[in-house]
Amino acid sequence: MHPGSPAEPVLAAWGITTGGAPAFIGLAPGTGESAGAWTAFLDDLKDRGLASPLLIISDGAAGLIGAIEQAFPAALRQRCIIHRARNVLAKIPAGMQPGVKDAYWAISGTEDLKTAPGPRLVEIIDARISEFAARYQALYPAAAKVVLTDREGLTAYLRFPAGHHHRIRHSNFIERTFGESRRRVKVIGRLPGETSCLTLVWAVLDRASRGWRGLTMTADGLRLLQDLRRSLLEPPAQLRPRTVTAAQPDDHPETVRATA
């Protein structure tokens, strides 16, 4: 992107509006994917008027996770379960991966459950994570450790409408658009400068984002999102209990009556 420098990343962000429509909201050059680079990117989005989202979906990059927690501490953070599956399978011998892969994806299967989205559903899936880790702890301790690390990030999506679960538990749709950007840039070779790079990448991503399917918003789903917003972003102020001090006899002056 800049003359004389090695390959540099471009930082990007997408969102889903409360109406269910996808939105391409940010693009910026970055010298790396450090916490500082991501913090500056997210701060710029906030300066442009982006309020705290209810849910932020990301991969496991430590710099990005740190920046998210600093910029939007009230938002829930969902770890991409597809990236996490790859991390787990990387610790398993190739011949044993199919069985472990099936067991991993069974963790997040909720089709057989009648539990409504919310804390109770999170507890059920979290228990499955523990069972998965216990099952493979002896044979594959490294894989068990991976699935237990940042386990809270694997279940955040379960507090949202059930119809949205398959779309908000991973960042796969973003990865596909990145693939298109890489394909276009590869043809060109090296871009002459920052402006030309951002212009091309923005055009490719903007065009790709027009084909994204949004989320269907039902009345029940909107009520759930409103409840989440109130609990996460607009919590009621805690009132101090009023301390009442018992009156002492000396607090009330004695009434003096004169008799003529």
Structure token pair of residue 165: 């679960």
In terms of phi and psi (left: phi > 0; alpha: psi -120 to 50; beta: otherwise), the region of 14 is: beta
Task: Give the pLDDT of residue 256.
Answer: 40
Domain ranges of the chain: 1-79+171-208, 81-170
pLDDT at 257 over 50: no
- Per-residue pLDDT, averaged over 237-260, amounts to 53
Please tell me the pTM assigned to this model: 0.81
Task: Give the pLDDT of residue 203.
Answer: 82
Long-range contacts of 180-187 (CB under 8 A, 24+ apart): 180/204, 180/205, 180/208, 181/10, 181/205
On whether the 1-79+171-208 domain is CATH 3.30.420.10, my answer is yes
215 touches 19 (CB < 8 A): no
pLDDT category at 259 given cuts 50, 70, 90 is very low
Q: What confidence tens digit (pLDDT) does each residue in 19-43 have? A: 898 888 889 987 778 899 999 999 9
Structure token pair of residue 48: 């442009």
Q: What confidence tens digit (pLDDT) does each residue in 115-173 have? A: 999 999 999 999 999 999 999 999 999 999 999 999 999 999 999 999 999 999 998 76
**R_g of the chain computed on alpha carbons:** 26
Q: What confidence tens digit (pLDDT) does each residue in 88-126 have? A: 999 999 999 999 999 999 999 998 899 999 999 999 999
Q: Distance between CA atoms of 125 and 70, rounded to whole angstroms?
A: 27
Mean model confidence pLDDT for the chain? 85
Task: Give the pLDDT of residue 163.
Answer: 92
